Amino acid sequence: MMTPQELDTFLTTQRTCRVATVGGDGAPHVGALWFAWDGTALWLYSITRSRRWAQLRGDPRLSVLVDDGDSYAELRGAELTGRAEFVGEAPRTGEPCPELAAPEKLFAGKYFGLTEMPHDGRHAWLRLTPESLVSWDFRKIPG
């Protein structure tokens, strides 16, 4: 597994995660998203008209996978599970929301090279404060 510092660096620098949700009929759904990690929570910027959003409205449980590596000896990753919390207006238009100031600054810098978040009126924020977080790093396996 990764040390807390390695995990923090990994989640801060990786760009794409896979988000798994479950529908009312029990059907799973997995989709890729960009994210921001603030050291405590994973922030997901999701289209509000997506299957993911609808499923989380009905059942807030989700699992997120962030992984990296091409060969077996390079594989590393983290799985975060818990419940989605909807934060701010949906869809997000940029109304003042102190709770979103830090994640929007992180996200805007990471993906757009900006200091302020551009809002398109189609996305909104989900916060995952992990109830469970497991990591692995096969680069640490000897020989």
Q: Are 15 and 34 in contact (CB under 8 A)?
A: yes
Q: Say if 119 falls within a structural domain.
A: yes
pLDDT tens digits, one per residue of 40-51: 999 999 999 999
Q: Say if 118 falls within a structural domain.
A: yes
Range of the domain at 59: 4-138
Q: Say if 143 falls within a structural domain.
A: no
pLDDT values of the chain reduced to their tens digit, one per residue, 143 residues: 999 999 999 999 999 999 999 988 888 999 999 999 999 999 999 999 999 999 999 999 999 999 999 999 999 999 999 999 999 999 999 999 999 999 999 999 999 999 999 999 999 999 999 999 999 999 999 87
Question: SS3 for 21?
Answer: strand
Q: Say if 27 falls within a structural domain.
A: yes
pTM confidence score: 0.94
Q: Say if 121 falls within a structural domain.
A: yes
pLDDT computed for residue 48 by the predictor: 97
Q: Are 111 and 34 in contact (CB under 8 A)?
A: yes
Q: Say if 79 falls within a structural domain.
A: yes
Q: Say if 13 falls within a structural domain.
A: yes
pLDDT computed for residue 89 by the predictor: 96
Q: Are 2 and 10 in contact (CB under 8 A)?
A: yes
Note if the bond before 91 is cis, omega within 30 degrees: yes
CATH, residue 62: 2.30.110.10
How many domains does one find in the chain?
1
